[in-house]
Amino acid sequence: MAITITFLQQLPLAATRVTRRQQSFYLAIAGDTPAATVQNMCGIVGYVGRAQATPILLDGLRRLEYRGYDSAGLAVVQRGRLETRKCAGRIAALAKLVRKEPVSGSLGVSHTRWATHGKVNDQNAHPHFDASGKLALVHNGVIENYQALKEELIRDGDTNFRSETDTEVLAHLIGKLYDDSCASTVDAPGKKARLFDAVRTALRQVIGTYGIALVHADVPDFMIGARRGSPLVLGVGKGENFLASDVSAIVAYTRDAVYLNDFDVVAAGTDKFEITSLAGDSTEHPVSKVEFTAEDVRKGDFPHYMLKEIFEQPNTVRDAMRGRLNHEECTARLGGLNMVAPQLRDVGRIVLTGCGTALHAGRVGEYLIERLANIPTEVDYASEFRHRNTPMTSETLVFAISQSGETADTLGALRESRRKGFRTLGICNNVASTIARESDGGVYMHAGPEIGVAATKSFTSQLVILTLLGLLFGRMRNLSAAEGSRVIEALEALPQQVEAVLDLNDQIKAIAKKYANANGFLFFGRQFNYPIALEGALKMKEITYLFAEGHPSAELKHGIIALIRSDLPSVFIAPDDSVFSKNLNNIEQVKARKGPIIALTSGNCAKHLKEIANEIVVLPEALDYVMPILTAVPLQLLAYHLAAQLGRDVDKPRNLAKSVTVE
């Protein structure tokens, strides 16, 4: 059942004309199981201007589709009343609903919801409404004290709740505060001011996180947004303004953006906007130019974003080091760290933190920084680090690694680290992200928008940056100029070498075809390539849904070897390096137990694998520091081709979201 709701502006809800279909909606939600729904990783788009809002709202949602969602909805003010369409399922279903029952108007909000708990159904889809049905609100985040707020509203006589969601409670609270303040006759500007006030007063009572956008049928050229913990950006257009949870939703319409900070509340009309604090004080925000264009977020001729992004890596790897190599002094130039030489020299310990793929990059970073700079380095899951009382010394430097710059756990780790007084830097792709803005400095990846849920190009960019960090710290300590220069050469060779790896695409596709019926995959590597085994397994599981594990090769004999069987291929990352012979022993152990072997190797080592491995992928030779960048790419391709073979939704794998803004 999809939902179409029309709220009549002039009448109280009890007196509105409600169609049979609408009635069944109210009844259905009245009987819904009480459950606080948590909306996160969701998409928000809002529009106020002179154009038709609906196509813009739908288009914006489609641009956020890659982030993952399970239901979608929109509300538009049409001739002084709210028109709503919402349904569980894809945006295509919402678009169909809109085609069947078109909505016209130049003010509206829309949303894609990604449930983390609570039912996925039409009723729980956003927008939600206040008691009068004149206010529509979309929300990312969790209102933790929604029960207490709701009880208070009920005590005050509000019995008109149509769902059990936390979002609806916020809509009711704002609506009530607004209605109370408009008890006497108020003119249009007065209504705007009172709505703005009502939003701030309500949000001051909220415990929890939110990114919200709302419209009210009383003020048909006025939209309000606010954030705390969930990103929100204002797109500034000519005669129109936009709100979005991610700038990529609106970059086709404007590249002028104002990134809101926590506790900002913005009111936008067609030609102006105002931002205040929760207390109501006006705040100044710069209008920034969005770095990328709408073209950058198109698939082009590629069947999937993931494949496009894998193939972008020769360029993104180059962009990550562009302007950062200092040939003369055989070191790296990373001015964004905001640290002068004596401070850099004083660093006695490094902590690298992040989640998922970013954490795996950190694991490579641990090997890199220890080898190149001899600084004790530790890697920790952001989710663990933030809750752990790890002993830190004053010379500790913390890096939060995050493509999106919005991952809740990584942001939590960054804030915890700063709270304790440690200098905390970011390695981010999204320049306007919260992590980028809240860190003491950092390094941008410059990889361009990454749309596929599976991180690919951001990973190799992170590896380039971590190599640059190792080089910079190393050259301030005991790394010789000659060694520094070898690292630079190795980095500069990478774009071409990545091209050469991409030329192996057909071979890898054939391997994927051959093993499409496998029951899962094991990945093994040593030293710099142990984290690549972890990353290869993560890519495999998230887009193929097959069982996959990554381990240091030597761990085989400590238990994993019990898993070896003929339908479980082992992928060995065994380039020509100081641990090749050790890897070879492990490969023999698998071979002896009839496990199929796919080997990634380089240089002369291929000949040692001829009689043992079922498949051999020969990569360009490179220094072991940078080899992980070359070994990661074929594993991305392997996972991609397998997922495509299996008919998986490669760019939007089930249950996953691009940016995880819940803990």
The residue ranges that bind ligand M6R (CB under 6 A) are 354-358, 402-404, 407, 410, 453-455, 538, 542, 656, 659-660
Q: What is the DSSP letter of 392?
A: -
b/e map 475-506, b = 16+ CB within 10 Å: bbeebeeebbeebbebbebbbebbeebbebbe
CA 61 to chain centre: 15
Choice between 46 and 412, CB closer to ligand M6R:
412
Name residue, tokens 């809240």. Answer: 438
Q: What is the C-alpha separation between 96 and 127, in angstroms, rounded?
A: 18
- Per DSSP, the residues of 117-181 read SS--STTTSSPEE-TTS-EEEEEEEEETTHHHHHHHHHHTT-----S--HHHHHHHHHHHHHHHH
Q: What is the C-alpha separation between 546 and 523, in angstroms, rounded?
A: 13
Q: Minimum Å distance from CB 546 to ligand M6R?
A: 15
Q: Which member of 192, 457, 541, 658 is catalytic?
A: 658
Choice between 124 and 403, CB closer to ligand M6R:
403
- Per DSSP, the residues of 411-458 read HHHHHHHHHTT-EEEEEES-TTSHHHHHSS-EEE-------SSS--HH
Q: What is the C-alpha separation between 588 and 586, in angstroms, rounded?
A: 5
Choice between 202 and 435, CB closer to ligand M6R:
435
658 assigned to active site: yes
CA–CA–CA angle 342, 351, 622 (5° rounding): 90
CB atoms within 10 A of CB 469: 28
b/e map 597-612, b = 16+ CB within 10 Å: bbbbbbeebbebbeeb
Cis, bond preceding 127 (omega within 30 deg of 0)? yes
Closest of 129, 431, 411, 148 to residue 262, by C-alpha: 411
CA 15 to chain centre: 44
Closest of 165, 159, 122, 118 to residue 5, by C-alpha: 122
Choice between 351 and 355, CB closer to ligand M6R:
355
Choice between 38 and 358, CB closer to ligand M6R:
358
Choice between 410 and 544, CB closer to ligand M6R:
410
Choice between 232 and 609, CB closer to ligand M6R:
232
Residue with nearest beta carbon to ligand M6R: 356
Largest CA distance in the chain: 88
User: 481-502 vs 457-475: helix axis angle to the nearest 10?
Assistant: 170
Closest of 113, 42, 41, 51 to residue 76, by C-alpha: 51
The 3-state DSSP class for residue 239 equals coil
Q: Minimum Å distance from CB 122 to ligand M6R?
A: 28
Q: Minimum Å distance from CB 358 to ligand M6R?
A: 4
Choice between 336 and 603, CB closer to ligand M6R:
336
The 3-state DSSP class for residue 545 equals coil
Q: Which member of 42, 330, 428, 605 is catalytic?
A: 42
Q: Minimum Å distance from CB 387 to ligand M6R?
A: 17
CB distance 452 to 309 below 8 Å: yes
Q: Minimum Å distance from CB 367 to ligand M6R?
A: 19
Q: Name the strands in the sheet holding 265-268, side by side, starting at the edge strand that comes first in the sequence.
A: 128-129, 135-143, 208-216, 223-228, 265-268, 273-276
Q: Minimum Å distance from CB 638 to ligand M6R?
A: 14
Choice between 2 and 358, CB closer to ligand M6R:
358
Residues that are catalytic: 42, 658
